[in-house]
Structure 1
Amino acid sequence: MSSPLGANVFITGANRGIGLGLVKEMLAVGGLKNVFAGCRDVDSAAELQQLQDKNGPLRLIRIDVSDDRSIRTAFGQVQKQLLDKGGLNLLINNAGILYKEGVSLREPIRDTFLHHFDVNTVGPVMTTAAFLPLLKKAAFAGEFARVVNIGSSLGCIGQAAVSPRLSPYQNVAYGMSKAALHHFSKMMALDESDIVTVAIHPGWVKTEMGGANATMSVSDSVAKIMARICALTKSDSGKLLYGEKELMP
């Protein structure tokens, strides 16, 4: 049985929260040849290791999206694993940070703001660039070739009047970094027309990052994300999506 996602998928930030939920859902759906689950510390990713013991397609990849050498090494491992087995059909840039301190307008810390951009924006840019040859290989073969950036409604400038009271810890840096990520998604869609690139808002999810007041479970969020990915068409490329809706960046 083939998967509607294609044969080979890579997910960053896969050790917890939405990333881990996506890994579990993909393994449950089946049909994938390789689910590459990326995280900074493979050795401490106990739940991923347990899943790997029970699921042949799951492969753990060490990657720190703020470290270019780590990204290149991860690409080399995935490339070696695929060999002549096809390209990469889906890259999900999920890794991200949201800090509590130094992220407000009144008490900003420069390094903290920059770190949000480094991980949440530049990380996906560098990761996508590194894995682009494998994505284009899939596209050239006429296969599913998609880049999904996990965005946020907090990065929607048109919703700025609403977002501050919803943003955990009043984190302005997070929304700014996600707005930039949405722009990257649009530019990627324009520059690489053979690859469908979108940003998807996961909802306000009950994770360590989302906080205790979040309104959506990980399983519900993952179900929406998966349904949207499976339904993607070229006309969606460059958009910020949530469920069946297109959000205004």
Structure 2
Amino acid sequence: MLAGNILVTGTNRGIGLELVKQLAQNTAEGAHIYACCREAEGTRAEALRALPTQYPGKITVIKLDMSDEDSISAAVHAVSRQIGADGLNLLINNAAVNKPASPAPLSATGKEHMMEVYETNVAGPFILAKMFLPLLQRAAERGSAAKEMGNTMSCRRSAIINISTLISSIEKCPETFPVAQMYPYRTSKAALNMLTRCQAEDFKMHNILVTAIHPGWVRTDMGGEEAPLTTQDSVHGMLNLMSSLSNKDSGKLLDWQGNIIPW
């Protein structure tokens, strides 16, 4: 079971909203979820704003635009003030955009799409993790119980989970490309995988686990109605997986059931 201070981005709908719901239901006593979204006061976040009432004292909604460094900085400061000395145990980078609309063929894709998607899907998680690193280190230092058991890394202690995708796999591109070209989304998530590998190498000295997870093909606005997985099943699988991650999983790309996806 996950515990401590947990922050999730992109939580106003789909997988992000379901992550907040299931974390509120299934985390250890004393856990707190920081649910971040771009338009926290807008109509698209009504379902998210209702959750703190359903789970009193367990959820804080934070405004966060992953494409805006000032917004990221403001969110980090807001969370830091609330967390205090405990540190941040788990950062889930779920927020992502896909432009132009699927299937996003080459003919419809311009430079502006590539840059906008990269800014949110790669630069955003990079800056957020960089700014939260002191709080992640603080949580890692406090997690002495895991260290005593000889397994220094876990999502209960200190971890970054980057939500990636099967279509980020360069090896599997010949299989997946005909279904959806999605140049900006594919290339941004491949870059997120490299960010995951770099962070895993960089942060292992601090005992901070960094893993990328593919949530499956999920029935969301982005996934479409043909997708076989519900958000409930995908998130249930991912949270089970996160609860079991350890040193051996840092720097990997796994699917929601724990299978390794080739780069």
| TM-score tier (shorter) | over 0.9
1:105 and 1:208 mapped to 2: Cα distance? Answer: 21
Listed as ranges, the gaps of 5+ residues in structure 1 are none
Q: Secondary structure at the match of 1:83?
A: helix
Superposed, 1:42-121 pairs within 5 Å as: 42-44=40-42, 45-55=45-55, 56-84=57-85, 86-101=86-101, 103-121=104-122
Task: For 2:12 and 2:135, locate their aligned partners in 1 and report how far apart those are by CA, in whole Å.
Answer: 23
**Aligned partners of 1:30 and 1:12: how far apart in 2?**
18
8 Å Cα contact 1:9-1:90 kept in structure 2: yes
Residue in 1 aligned with 2:192? 181
**155, 171, 177: which is aligned to 2:182?**
171
1:39 corresponds to: 37
Counterpart contact for 2:89–2:136, Cα < 8 Å: yes
SS in structure 2 of the partner of residue 166 of structure 1: coil
Partner of 1:244 in structure 2? 258
CA distance in 2, matches of 1:188, 1:154: 21
1:235 match:
248
| Distance in 1 (alpha carbons) for counterparts of 2:77 and 2:173 | 40
**C-alpha displacement of 1:142:** 2.0
* 8 Å Cα contact 1:5-1:89 kept in structure 2: no
Indicate if the aligned counterparts of 1:91 and 1:147 stay in contact, CA closer than 8 A. Answer: yes
Partner of 2:151: none
TM-score (norm 2): 0.89
Paired residue secondary structure (1:148): strand
Taking the aligned partners of 1:18 and 1:166, their CA distance within structure 2 comes to: 21
Q: Deviations over 1:58-113 (max 9, x none)?
A: 000000011011001000110100113x0100000000011235943334300111
Match of residue 162, structure 1, among 163, 170, 175: 175
Work out whether residues 206 and 212 of structure 1, in 8 Å CA contact, stay in contact via their aligned partners in 2: yes
**1:219, 1:153 → 2: CA distance?**
19
| Cα-Cα RMSD | 1.4
Q: Which residue of 1 aligns with 2:154?
A: none
Aligned residue identity for 1:43: E
Q: Mean alpha-carbon deviation: is it higher for 92-101 or for 229-238?
A: 92-101
Q: Secondary structure at the match of 2:65?
A: coil
Distance (whole Å) between structure 2 residues aligned to residue 7 and residue 235 of structure 1: 22
Task: State which drifts further: 88-97 or 39-48.
Answer: 39-48
Find the aligned partners of 2:231 and 2:183 in 1 and give their Cα distance. 24
Q: Distance in 2 between matches of 1:101 and 1:88?
A: 35
Alignment check: 8 A CA contact 1:104 1:173 kept: no
Greater displacement, 42-51 / 87-96: 42-51
Q: Is the 8 A contact 1:13 1:96 kept in 2?
A: yes
- 1:13 lines up with 2:10 in the alignment: yes
Q: In the alignment, residue 39 of structure 1 is paired with which amino acid?
A: C
The answer to whether the aligner puts 1:225 opposite 2:238 as a matched pair is yes
Moved more, 98-107 or 130-139: 98-107
**What is the count of residue pairs matched by the alignment?**
243
2:7 aligns to what SS in structure 1?
A: strand
The TM-score, its normalising length taken from structure 1, stands at 0.94
Q: Per-residue deviation at 1:224?
A: 1.1
